[in-house]
Amino acid sequence: MATKKTVFVLFGATGDLARRMVLPAFYTLAIEGLLPEDWVLVGNGRGDVAHEDFRKHVHDVLVEFGPHPDRGPWKEFEQRLYFAGGGFDTDSPGSLLDVIGEARRRVGARAQLVHYLAVPPVTFPELTKALGQHGLAKGARVVYEKPFGTSPKGFRSLNRIVHSVLDESQVYRIDHFLGKEATQNLHVLRFANELFAAMWNRDHIESVQIDVPEDLGVDDRAGFYDATGAVLDMLVTHLFQVAAEVAMEPPETLTAPDLQSARERVIRAFRPLDPAEVVLGQFDGYRKVKGIEPRSTTDTYVAAKLWIDNPRWQGVPFLLRTGKRMAVSEQRVTVVLRTPQGPLKGLPGQANALSFSLAGNGEIALSLLAKKPGIELHLESATVKLPLAELPDAEPLPPYVRLIHDVLLGDRSLFTRPDGLSAAWRTVQPILDNPPRLHKYAQDSMGPAAAKKLAAPHGWLLGQ
């Protein structure tokens, strides 16, 4: 449990991200008894909103997105919600300084300040400068949503600004895929079980598929998405970070510095993407979505073959795929084992695989070939599954709940570092400089046909 007295400042408190993710996560922490012993949440925005009106807004958010206020200590919770209007920038702090002063009088002058920037990335530089300008940076923890920069140049500029105001130890760059229970098992299962640790290399692994198709569209955030696209929204963020979780060398410990270093070190071994091994797509009808430019060339789909240039992974393709309006919604990592050479001939490819579902509470599955009971030697493929939530005394937390709790504890293990992000931008630079052709694909499909050759000779495991 986080024990410090805390003032949690939520920038963009009435925006979509706060409504869908941050406020429900914060209330979940209250239900679970995981908030600090004394705390206040200060919402910030441009509007002039009374504390009572903000409390009603949060109540309505929880009714819509859960957990329902009736499920937890709502009466006590709402009294700790404040709102500071008038915006916040280098020219004016609005009412934020006054409201933080009011909050500190309630919980203590030395309360830990946590700033959560649930705002568009374009506002990060100005808000960061304003935190320094108005004396709110010293000793504070600052959470930045992804993407941290929207281009290699933008990343470098933002990183310089952040480090001119904050020490790196104060910075929490969030990637909620790292907060997923099954994502953490990508390294825990391997390091805790010699069976998997021994085979985790190019001699035994044929390929790795990281597949995150989505059946949802972009209607609820068309403006943001049309300025971003699948490469920036998913590939350079979530998919690269998950690939690093799979591919990292064993760290000395699972403490934050060692775990972060192992993850960032392997990202530096990512080979820059070859545009010939990347397929971009846009679903039919995308340009007709309200808020999308009529001639938009934004990618809503990307499939890429990633190579890692180190001894463990040399020659093993990491196949990454994500897209909108696809036939299924999945978040799956599959480690495909090589087909054994030996007395059994004609074995099917990709029959032996270790799979991690990152959706929900997570699931681990092992697919293998076994003899079908009977007189003849007939092999059948079988899969055993372990839903993580069914482990004894399991208490799974949704990723935003876990990550906000880690911020309150001061644990940076599951947050990204600038050296890894710099390497990620370097990896994706070739397709930003020389974008591949944009393919159209039908809604409710598995994307452009051109992506099939990336997974040759066997193909993608999902959607076959």
Task: Give the residue numbers marked as catalytic.
Answer: 238
- Does the annotation list 351 as a binding residue? no
Is 15 known to sit in a ligand binding site?
yes
Q: Is 372 annotated as a binding residue?
A: no
416 is in an annotated binding site: no
Does 176 count as an annotated binding residue? yes
Q: Is 433 annotated as a binding residue?
A: no
Flag whether 46 is marked binding. Answer: yes
Written in H, E and C, the secondary structure of the chain is CCCCCEEEEEECCCCHHHHHHHHHHHHHHHHCCCCCCCEEEEEECCCCCCHHHHHHHHHHHHHHHCCCHHHCCHHHHHCCEEEECCCCCCCCCCCHHHHHHHHHHHHCCCCEEEEEECCCHHHHHHHHHHHHHCCCCCCCEEEECCCCCCCHHHHHHHHHHHHHHCCHHHEEECCHHHHCHHHHHHHHHHHHCHHHHHHCCCCCEEEEEEEEECCCCCHHHHHHHHCCHHHHHHHHHHHHHHHHHHHCCCCCCCCHHHHHHHHHHHHCCECCCCHHHEEEEEECCHHHCCCCCCCCCCCCEEEEEECECCCCCCCCCEEEEEECCECCCCCEEEEEECCCCCCCCCCCCCCCEEEEECCCCCEEEEEEEEECCCCCCCEEEEEEEEEHHHCCCCCCCCHHHHHHHHHHHCCCCCCECHHHHHHHHHHHHHHHHCCCCEEEECCCECCCHHHHHHHCCCCCCCCC
Query: Is 459 labelled as part of a ligand binding site?
Result: no
Cβ atoms of residues 240 and 267 within 8 Å: yes
Report whether 458 belongs to an annotated binding site.
no
Flag whether 153 is marked binding: no
Say if residue 211 carries a ligand binding annotation.
no
55 annotated ligand-binding residue: no
Flag whether 14 is marked binding: yes
The annotation places the binding site at 12-19, 46, 146, 176, 180, 214, 233, 324
Annotated binding site for NADP(+): 12-19, 46, 146
Numbered residues of the known binding site for substrate: 176, 180, 214, 233, 324
